[in-house]
Amino acid sequence: MSLALLALTTFLASAVEMVEAATIVLAVGHTQGWRAALGGTLAASLALVALIVLFGGWLANAAALRGVELVAGPFLVLFGMAWLRKAIWRYAGLKAMHDEAAIYEREVAMLESESERRAGFAVAFQGVFVEGLEVAVIVVTFAASRAEGLLWAAAGAAAAFVVVAALAVVLRKPFARVPENAMKGMVGVMLLSLGTFWIGEGLGLTWWAGDVTLFLIAGIYLALSAGIVAVRRVKAAA
């Protein structure tokens, strides 16, 4: 299986979550100062890296064990389904699209009414940690594929972190134009497909076209998602 696919999946997942975290960090920076914003971001990032090194290292060592895919696969299926159905709801108009500008305004209003200076650090820490936790779990889960899986997955997530952080420093405003929902949907399809494939591997099932089956499964889930969106849109309009 392509390690680049793991890196791409964590890159996209990390980019989506970091765009959301950047909105909170920017709001903290503008209202309570950049020291609190960057301090909270750094502390949360270190905590996430520690989690990945600790649990990822342990799972990477267990990657050679038979049946470890049966632990990682179900996690990926559940995560993937959660990401994908949220994207489907948004495309079908059943849930509001993520509006970074509105979230930024709300965070700024909340922080301006907060007199406690340490609140900025806590809000930035929580924002980055909570948004990054799911990505950290995905990276750790990818370690179950093989030892290099952890490195590639972590590299993908780290690359997205660097790109989003650099853009946040340059632009100094929330990313309102990022196609978050499309990215969320893609990550959902990839996680769901990888999870399905790994469960099959763990159970010793024979896939119809070997490793290529992974892309067939992704195609099935993608087509199915498009179909669900179309049907739900028609129903909502009727």
| Options 116, 170, 206, 238; binder of other proteins; rule CB under 8 A | 206
From the list 12-20, 21-29, 54-62, 223-231, the region that binds other proteins by CB under 8 A is 223-231
Asked if 187 and 159 count as a contact pair (C-beta separation under 8 A), the reply is no
Q: CB of residue 143 vs other proteins: minimum separation in angstroms?
A: 18
Sketch the per residue contact string, 139 through 178, with other proteins: x for CB under 8 A, - otherwise: ----------------------------------------
State the Cα–Cα distance between residues 70 and 64, nearest whole angstrom: 13
State the Cα–Cα distance between residues 14 and 5, nearest whole angstrom: 14
Per CB under 8 A, 233 contacts other proteins: no
3-state secondary structure of 66: coil
How many other CB atoms are there within 10 angstroms of residue 66's CB atom?
Answer: 8
From the list 60-68, 97-105, 121-129, 201-209, the region that binds other proteins by CB under 8 A is 201-209
Asked if 40 and 124 count as a contact pair (C-beta separation under 8 A), the reply is yes
From the list 111-119, 150-158, 171-179, 212-220, the region that binds other proteins by CB under 8 A is 212-220
